[in-house]
Structure 1
Amino acid sequence: MFVDDTDEVRDPDVSAIAALGEPTRRRLYDYVARSADPVGRDEAASDLGLARQTAAFHLDRLADESLLDVVYERRSGRTGPGAGRPAKLYRRSARQIAVSLPGRRYELAGRLLARAVEESGTTGEPVRDVLHREARALGARIGADGAGEEVVGVLERYGFEPRREDGTVVLGNCPFHALAREHTQTVCGMNLHLLGGVLEGLRETGYTACLAPAEGRCCVRLEPVA
């Protein structure tokens, strides 16, 4: 089964990006990122012309935001008694951060599409059939994870900007906007099945997902079941 390990954009991502807005902190981050080996406070302070206390403060702030990892190593290469305490060093973390306004989820779409192509190549099943099935399965898991919530709240977290209009739920934003403009039939079909899966996972029987393309909004909307 396809597993979506795409992180949602949450406040910690915004906080991490804001942390890089401080010029000295950004210089230190870039310095560590360019280094092939973990960097110590003294080394960073010397190379960038900073006070050691200033370098230490900003490096620790970057570590608190998970932008840097902290490791401890003995720089002398000695081990055992008398080797001294390991030095506190910093290296760039593997964390990936992305914030977009309005919200976009291109990695989610990319994973679904890649999975569909790979499985189709193995089984011979049409790519579109696999894509629809995988999108529905992912949507069902998203809905199940939000069990007990209203569908509007779940879709808000995924960037759809839902709003109620005359009994329907209109989605003011498409998280796959650029892809949908260039590959409308493929991406809108994927989105339709994804949202159908969300309703299924939530056990929401009051709405059904329908294609209803309109300028300035998602191609899918949720219609009340008669």
Structure 2
Amino acid sequence: MRRRPACARSAGSPIQVSIPDRRHELLAGLLLRAVLAEGENETAANAAIRTARQHGDELGGQDRARLRPGRLGAERGLTLCEQMLNQHGFEPAREAPDRLRLRNCPFHPLAAQAPDLVCGMNHAFLTGYLQGLQAGAVQAVLAPRSGECCVQLQHAQPQDPPKAG
């Protein structure tokens, strides 16, 4: 039996190449959850933000239970976040010991079409992740830069105490 050259064989499944890494399935899953869980007096955008935060919180809680990191300071919290972010295609990079910049937006052409929605969901997802991980020394902040993710993670700024009246 004569074998066909590799280039002439048909592929059993479609090949998908994406550079830089794009993860539309995460965003699509969050949007699907939002549509299915939209409250009666809630807009679709609000449901998407709420659902993204809940999903991040669940994922952070799962990672906390699996890793058992104990009390997390900023540097250790950022290190744990960096591992999750790498898995999801964000290409995290330490700009400083207390700051993690996300070099890639895994949702990029969709973020370009609806930045308020997609960046808001991304921020909510990462805020929820930090909450579930119990990494209170780290915060997700919106810090858009051209060609990068709109969110960065950094050492949480202490809250100003309430002023006495």
The residue that corresponds to 1:191 in the other structure is 122
Q: How far does residue 119 in structure 1 lie from its aligned partner after superposition?
A: 3.4
The higher radius of gyration belongs to 1
- CA 1:98/1:194 → structure 2, altered by over 3 Å: closer, same or farther? farther
Report the Cα distance in structure 1 between the residues aligned to 2:7 and 2:101, rounded to whole angstroms.
40
Q: Does 1:134 align with 2:56?
A: no
The residue that corresponds to 1:151 in the other structure is 81
Look up the equivalent residue of 2:25 and give its one-letter code: E
Report the Cα distance in structure 2 between the residues aligned to 1:98 and 1:184, rounded to whole angstroms.
25
Q: Give the 3-state SS of the residue equivalent to 2:58 in structure 1.
A: helix
Q: How far does residue 216 in structure 1 lie from its aligned partner after superposition?
A: 2.1
Look up the equivalent residue of 2:24 and give its one-letter code: Y
Report the Cα distance in structure 2 between the residues aligned to 1:114 and 1:182, rounded to whole angstroms.
18
Q: Does 1:164 align with 2:94?
A: yes
Q: Does 1:105 align with 2:105?
A: no
Report the Cα distance in structure 2 between the residues aligned to 1:146 and 1:131, rounded to whole angstroms.
22
What does the per-residue CA deviation read over 1:25-64, in whole Å, with 9 as the maximum and x for residues that have no partner? 464435xx6xxxxxxxxxxxxxxxxxxxxxxxxxxxxxxx
- CA 1:209/1:127 → structure 2, altered by over 3 Å: closer, same or farther? same
The residue that corresponds to 1:60 in the other structure is none
Q: How far does residue 185 in structure 1 lie from its aligned partner after superposition?
A: 0.4
Report the Cα distance in structure 1 between the residues aligned to 2:57 and 2:90, rounded to whole angstroms.
16
Q: Does 1:211 align with 2:142?
A: yes
The residue that corresponds to 2:163 in the other structure is none
Report the Cα distance in structure 1 between the residues aligned to 2:126 and 2:51, rounded to whole angstroms.
12
What does the per-residue CA deviation read over 1:195-226, in whole Å, with 9 as the maximum and x for residues that have no partner? 11111222212211111111121101112113
Of the candidates 8, 16, 40, which is equivalent to residue 123 of structure 1? Answer: 40
The residue that corresponds to 2:5 in the other structure is 24
Q: How far does residue 150 in structure 1 lie from its aligned partner after superposition?
A: 1.2
Report the Cα distance in structure 2 between the residues aligned to 1:219 and 1:114, rounded to whole angstroms.
22
Report the Cα distance in structure 2 between the residues aligned to 1:153 and 1:107, rounded to whole angstroms.
19
Percent identity over paired residues: 38
Instruction: Supply the RMSD in Å over aligned alpha carbons.
Output: 2.3
- CA 1:145/1:101 → structure 2, altered by over 3 Å: closer, same or farther? farther
TM-score, normalised by the number of residues in structure 2: 0.73
List runs of 5+ in structure 2 lacking aligned partners. 68-78, 158-165
Equivalent residue pairs, number? 140
List runs of 5+ in structure 1 lacking aligned partners. 1-22, 34-66, 68-95
The residue that corresponds to 1:178 in the other structure is 109
Report the Cα distance in structure 2 between the residues aligned to 1:173 and 1:180, rounded to whole angstroms.
12
TM-score, normalised by the number of residues in structure 1: 0.55
Structure with more relative contact order (C-alpha pairs < 8 Å, separation 6 or more): 2
- CA 1:98/1:139 → structure 2, altered by over 3 Å: closer, same or farther? farther
The residue that corresponds to 1:8 in the other structure is none
